[in-house]
Amino acid sequence: MTVDVHALCAAMPGATRTYPFSEGTAVYKVGGRMFALTQDEPTSINLKAEPPDVTGLVDTYDAIMRGWHMNKKHWITVQLDGSLPAGLLEELVEDSYDLVVDKLPARDRP
């Protein structure tokens, strides 16, 4: 079963899809801050994660590496090859979104 990462990201409360870097590179934001980055035809997705989680995820799953072109302490790149356990990708997107929302001023939270 393949997960539609665009639908998953867009379903987060207050999420917006922008193209600040290039056509074809979708950036999902909440409160003006990025929580996910992927291609229009995604083979991977970049997501925020807590630093201790980054290390654990990278060590545990072959499909997860430190963020490609991102701060490698705070971002992961997840290969969308179907190898992750069911529900893990959804959990990682939600965690990324929550990390950003938690840092927003109360007035900017959805």
- Please give the class, per CATH, of domain 5-102: alpha beta
pTM, entire model = 0.93
Q: What is the dihedral of CA 59, 15, 29, 18, to 10 degrees?
A: 120
pLDDT at 2: 65
Domain boundaries of the chain, sorted by first residue: 5-102
pLDDT of 24: 94
**Res 90: pLDDT:** 96
* pLDDT for the residue 1: 44
Going residue by residue through the chain (110 aa), what tens digit of pLDDT does each one get?
468 999 999 999 999 999 999 999 999 999 999 999 999 999 999 999 999 999 999 999 999 999 988 888 899 999 999 999 989 999 999 999 999 999 998 888 88
Q: Reduce the DSSP state of residue 75 to 3 states and report it.
A: strand
pLDDT in the model for residue 55: 92
